[in-house]
Amino acid sequence: MKKFSDRYEAGKVLADQLKTYTKNPYVIVLALPRGGVPVAFEIATALSVPLDIFVVRKLGVPGHEELAMGAIATGGVTIFNNDIIKKLNISNSEINNIIKLEQQELMRRESVYRGKKPFPELKDKIIILVDDGIATGATMRAAIRALRQQHLRRLILAVPVAAFSTCAEMENLVDEVVCPLRPHDFYAVGAWYDEFSQTTDEEVSQLLNQ
């Protein structure tokens, strides 16, 4: 399977597969920051539709932050991975502390990226939800659950790469999945890009302002 050179190239590949939505007045592209923003920028630009962000924060297991025990999203949505919480015997007070910290970071990102700009009205809209790839899926599931409460016309998930099994699972949660790379041996999102450096807050703000 061919890798993407970077997030921008991945966005162009996705835009090509989403051409039917060009200039559709109901479409909004929503990116998960930070890595999803460069990908989404290329899609929104190619389709001539608005771009915005949807902030989701992973709730990492104490001491193993990369392992998600849940996630929180814009709009006050919280989801938990109860299997992990039970298995690792994580206490309610630990969970609440992490939620509090991530809530602060979520609000910080909202204000840094969006500034005073209000969150768009999503009712009856066609949402193209974008990230640079899906690893565990916890973040994406939180985003989908939060967006489902907004009475959308249609929810499309667009990601350059995700494990074959993850794509199959996501197809049950959204109306359409656009994912060109679906490896059985996935490893990590970054393994499918030649260049995968951290996207900065500055880059996100710059792309949103454009």
pLDDT of residue 131: 97
* Annotated domain spans of the chain: 7-56+119-209, 57-114
Q: What is the average pLDDT score of the chain? A: 93
Which pTM does this prediction carry?
0.88
Q: How far, in Å, CA of 40 to CA of 62, rounded?
A: 31
Residue 118: which pLDDT band, with cuts at 50, 70 and 90? confident
Q: How far, in Å, CA of 83 to CA of 149, rounded?
A: 25
Q: Which amino acid, one-letter code, is at 84? A: I
pLDDT of residue 76: 78
User: What does the pLDDT average to over 86-112?
Assistant: 93
State whether CATH 3.40.50.2020 applies to domain 7-56+119-209.
yes
State whether CATH 3.30.70 applies to domain 57-114.
no
User: What does the pLDDT average to over 17-46?
Assistant: 97
pLDDT of residue 169: 94
Q: Of 9-18, 22-31, 147-156, give the lowest mean pLDDT range.
A: 147-156
pLDDT of residue 150: 87
